[in-house]
Structure 1
């Protein structure tokens, strides 16, 4: 009988609202006055094997050679690995991995549950997990490690610079540093272009929703989304709370955002439903028809498409400078 490591439905939904949005249980980090593109990132240099890397949990992982078989346990890792040109090396991904299209051709090792025996049968040289899901994947990782499988837990990035470091780290671990450097350079260029376009705009009050009534969750201080809003001249009206937290409709009315960003797609016609909430006719975002649905993958996954997500947010908040 196959051994499955199961994730309950409620816990899985919590991942969708919280961990997949690029936040975890970390303490909120202080903001900086420096633009993200000006902060220092780790120097990319030549990788030599064998090498020892330290993962997000402080574990030292030694690789004798670039891995020839890789399993990814979260979509953001998968996007980075494909971006590095590791199509042939990737042998397993999760049911939730929908980008790039080539991910559909890979063996699936689970979504709401991991098929541990399948992962082991794939004989990966390394499995890339993620810090944001550790509360749910700890038992699975323990099973894999007890079977002799190397598991590297990727850091849950809180801003673009930490994302760049993650990309560099995966590039280093897989012998793809030049490719990682190219991805990072392209992302930085795009971020600089976006920030240049919005630098003279008036800041707008923004609320970012990750779920609908009755359990409305919004992006607070310490989230990746909050950091992105700060980069594009947007005032997060929910920044008085930490992480992704639950809020009621009356509080949203009181905060009176100029723009409401919707990051979810599970509610049909949500853009017409939100204005119909009781009392929302007084909210500026409703009066100005400024409720915008964005791609939850590009605006939350800590990978190469994150710069595209930043641009999508900027267009939603400052459409006038992108016309």
Structure 2
């Protein structure tokens, strides 16, 4: 199921990249809008697809349609206000106890029946769920489409915006400042590394090995931890054959999926991989898929996990 969700997610990202709307606010514009009347209600907001909503007061019943939104909402202390979440929630554990409203297909009738004050959708699902989102709007449900953040700075912006929409602006600022402080701490440690390592990131198993290239969260993470993505010469997520991995000979291999039992050992035993430096030096490491890809507070945990996997010596003290 996790592999299916990964493939669908990559497809949505590709589709989203082909259908960017010219009316979307820039990062600077978003930050300016958020900075005005931080916690004042009534509050009017324009979302990632140009839809405007007005909130008379802070919402007391919230539905999240995608796990990254859910993680942000919980980080803001909105446990009691959250009444519905995606079927595939995994964090925090309290999210698993919430009412489920669908996964890759949403139960629109159920969402309407729950009478939420606001539904937080996501730009990455718009092409798949556009008719359902409009059905919600037509039923009088306030829908806010969160921008699909592609880097840390935009993640900060979306956290801030969700905080403002929920009356948790100060809490959002605290989350962001904690994230930035942790990023600085991690980068200070890896900045001392003398020899930059090359890395291959594997997001699915043979026979269809996918990897992230330029313009992805993982690319930014690798750059931030002073490492080199050997596949950065291509954009987005793409399929790569095993021979290409061997040819590029990474110092480290990061595995970001866990749907294959014993995957690290299986990677080491692939035909021809015995010549790869990462295999020879036993530097094939599994990292948490969600923490390294979801645009939310746990991105800093993913950043640290990747940094430790590549440069364990920098964190040994």
Inter-partner Cα distance in structure 1 for 2:2 and 2:296? 26
Match of 2:233 among 225, 240, 251: 240
Inter-partner Cα distance in structure 1 for 2:91 and 2:295? 13
Give the corresponding residue for 2:284. Answer: 291
SS in 1 for 2:17: coil
In the alignment, does 2:112 pair up with 1:120? yes
CA contact 1:23–1:224 (8 Å) conserved in 2: no
CA contact 1:218–1:247 (8 Å) conserved in 2: yes
CA drift of 1:288 comes to 0.8
Give the corresponding residue for 2:221. Answer: 228
Inter-partner Cα distance in structure 2 for 1:125 and 1:292? 43
Give the corresponding residue for 1:212. Answer: 205
1:18-60, Cα deviation, whole Å (9 max, x unpaired): 66xx887338xxxxxxxxxxxx966756321111111111222
The higher-RCO structure (CA 8 Å, 6+ apart) is 1
Inter-partner Cα distance in structure 1 for 2:131 and 2:203? 28
Change (3 A) 1:255 1:190: same
Give the corresponding residue for 1:142. Answer: 134
Inter-partner Cα distance in structure 1 for 2:163 and 2:93? 21
Which TM-score applies when normalising by structure 2?
0.90
Q: Which runs of 5+ in 2 are unaligned?
A: 19-29
Give the corresponding residue for 1:196. Answer: 188
SS in 2 for 1:77: helix
Inter-partner Cα distance in structure 1 for 2:269 and 2:5? 29
CA contact 1:130–1:156 (8 Å) conserved in 2: yes
Which TM-score applies when normalising by structure 1?
0.88
CA contact 2:216–2:236 (8 Å) conserved in 1: yes
1:119-172, Cα deviation, whole Å (9 max, x unpaired): 001101111111122222222212212222111111111111111101000000
SS in 1 for 2:174: helix
Give the corresponding residue for 1:26. Answer: 17
Change (3 A) 1:79 1:252: same
SS in 1 for 2:150: coil
Match of 1:178 among 155, 170, 173: 170
Inter-partner Cα distance in structure 2 for 1:64 and 1:107? 25
Q: Compute the RMSD of aligned alpha carbons.
A: 2.1
Inter-partner Cα distance in structure 2 for 1:188 and 1:163? 11
Inter-partner Cα distance in structure 2 for 1:306 and 1:47? 26
CA drift of 1:307 comes to 0.6
1:2-30, Cα deviation, whole Å (9 max, x unpaired): xxxxxx999744235566xx887338xxx
CA drift of 1:219 comes to 0.6
In the alignment, does 2:71 pair up with 1:109? no
In the alignment, does 2:1 pair up with 1:14? no
Once structures 1 and 2 are overlaid, which stretch shifts more, 284-293 or 145-154?
A: 145-154
SS in 1 for 2:239: strand
Say which structure is richer in helix.
2
CA drift of 1:299 comes to 1.0
CA drift of 1:279 comes to 1.1
Change (3 A) 1:66 1:23: farther
Change (3 A) 1:159 1:9: closer
1:74-108, Cα deviation, whole Å (9 max, x unpaired): 11100100111111111000111121111122111
Inter-partner Cα distance in structure 1 for 2:44 and 2:196? 45
Once structures 1 and 2 are overlaid, which stretch shifts more, 169-178 or 45-54?
A: 45-54
CA contact 1:300–1:306 (8 Å) conserved in 2: yes
Q: How do 1:37-186 residues align onto structure 2 when only pairs under 5 Å count?
A: 44=35, 46-186=38-178
